[in-house]
Amino acid sequence: MPLEVMDRRASDNEYLHRDFHGALSSALIYLEEHFGAEGLRDYLRRFALSYYAPLREDIRERGLIAIADRLRAIYDLEGADYSLQMGADELLVEVRACPAVAHMRASGYAVAPQWRETVRTVHEAICEGSPWGFELLEYCEETGANRQRFFRRSDAQ
Amino acid sequence: MISCTEFIPAYSELFRYLEERGGREEVMRFWEDLSDRFLGNLRALVEEHGLRGCWLYWSHTLNEEAADFRMELDEEAGEFRIIMRHCPSKGLLMSLDHMEPYHDYCGHCDVLYRRVLEPLGYECVADLSECDEARCSITVRRSANK
């Protein structure tokens, strides 16, 4: 067999490597095993505060619209079955099947027992320091389906 | 939800977090754990197909990651090589104005893949000398004593 070569430019493909969900899940399992659920949440909060800093700034300026724009972008990209319901002071989110959990289950990756924290802790951290709060109303461990609520905090100006 | 397109910054921040909690040794422990826990598909492909297993594994991952690369497989010479002209992961981290990449972000590649391939009878050599410019290479060869 002669030398085989594959040569690709970045523009040849779309950037969407769903196996990264499995890698993140493995990382969360490791964190819980070595640092407990508290360590896992501490890491996710620190990551969210750091990585989503531009989004957090945007939320302070545009409020719930900034949150809705971000959710639409990632859920559309990942092919999620979801709906958003926007009110004046509240954004309700329903994810009928989480695409990350669906991919992990289909590919045989272990889903971290604390996977829900990628929604709850991350969204709480994104809202930190803003007039907005977050609560995870429901979460299905099997499919990752969930209902979320972003709301204006009662102590906000 | 953290999108799979946001994983790389999460990964980089995890290395930083682990180093703060337990030093460099903790980061290394995690990389070894991740290799054992997550790279079963690479291990299975190389066990079944030999060096071609590397080709099959990276054909999938590098295309989905939209990498800028050249990959070579010479089964007669017993060598597989990836020349990464622009790593999408390191490139993404370098493009973020508000975050610094973990100082040894690229080190995980060498540890994770060597840990799978060496016990299977392959030598795995990573050249990370240009990783600050998102360029690197990995060469996998059959070990002389295999």
Q: Report the gap between the CA of B22 and the closest CA in chain A (Å).
A: 10
Position of tokens 């329903």? A94
Query: In the structure, how many helices (H) and strands (E) does chain B have?
Result: 5, 4
> pLDDT at position A4, please?
97
pLDDT above 90: percentage of residues in chain A = 96
Q: Are A156 and A63 in contact (CB under 8 A)?
A: no
**Any A CB within 8 A of B23 CB:** no
What gap in Å lies between CA A44 and CA A37, rounded to an integer? 11
d(CA A93, CA B72): 46
Domain of residue B81 covers 4-142
DSSP characters for A39-101? HHHHHHHHHHHHHTHHHHHHHHHHTHHHHHHHHHHHHHHHT-EEEEEE-SSEEEEEEEE-HHH
What pLDDT shows up at residue B27? 98
pLDDT value at residue A1: 72
Q: List the CATH number of the domain containing B52.
A: 3.30.1380
Domain ranges of chain A: 19-152
Q: Which amino acid is at B90?
A: K
pLDDT exceeds cutoff 60 at B146: no
Number of domains into which chain B is organized: 1
User: What pLDDT, on a 0 to 100 scale, did the predictor assign at position A155?
Assistant: 86
Q: What is the mean pLDDT of residues B85-106?
A: 97
State the fold for domain A19-152: Muramoyl-pentapeptide Carboxypeptidase; domain 2 (3.30.1380)
Please write the tens of the pLDDT for every residue from B44-65. Answer: 999 999 999 999 999 999 999 9
Residue A128 has pLDDT above 90, yes or no: yes
Give me chain A's average pLDDT, please. Answer: 96
pLDDT at A156: 78
Chain A CB contacts of B86 below 8 Å = 10
Q: For A8-46, what is each residue's pLDDT tens digit?
A: 999 999 999 999 999 999 999 999 999 999 999 999 999
- Paired with A146 in beta bridges are A95, A139
Report d(CA A110, CA A20) in Å as an integer. Answer: 12
pLDDT at B25 over 60: yes
Chain-chain contact of A16 with B62 (C-beta, under 8 angstroms): no
**Structure confidence at residue B145 (pLDDT):** 64
Confidence of residue B144 (pLDDT cuts 50, 70, 90): confident
Q: Tell me the shortest Cα–Cα distance from B119 to chain A, in angstroms.
A: 22
Beta sheet of B122-127, edge-to-edge order: A4-8, B68-74, B79-86, B136-142, B122-127
Tell whether B3 is within 8 A of chain A (Cβ).
yes
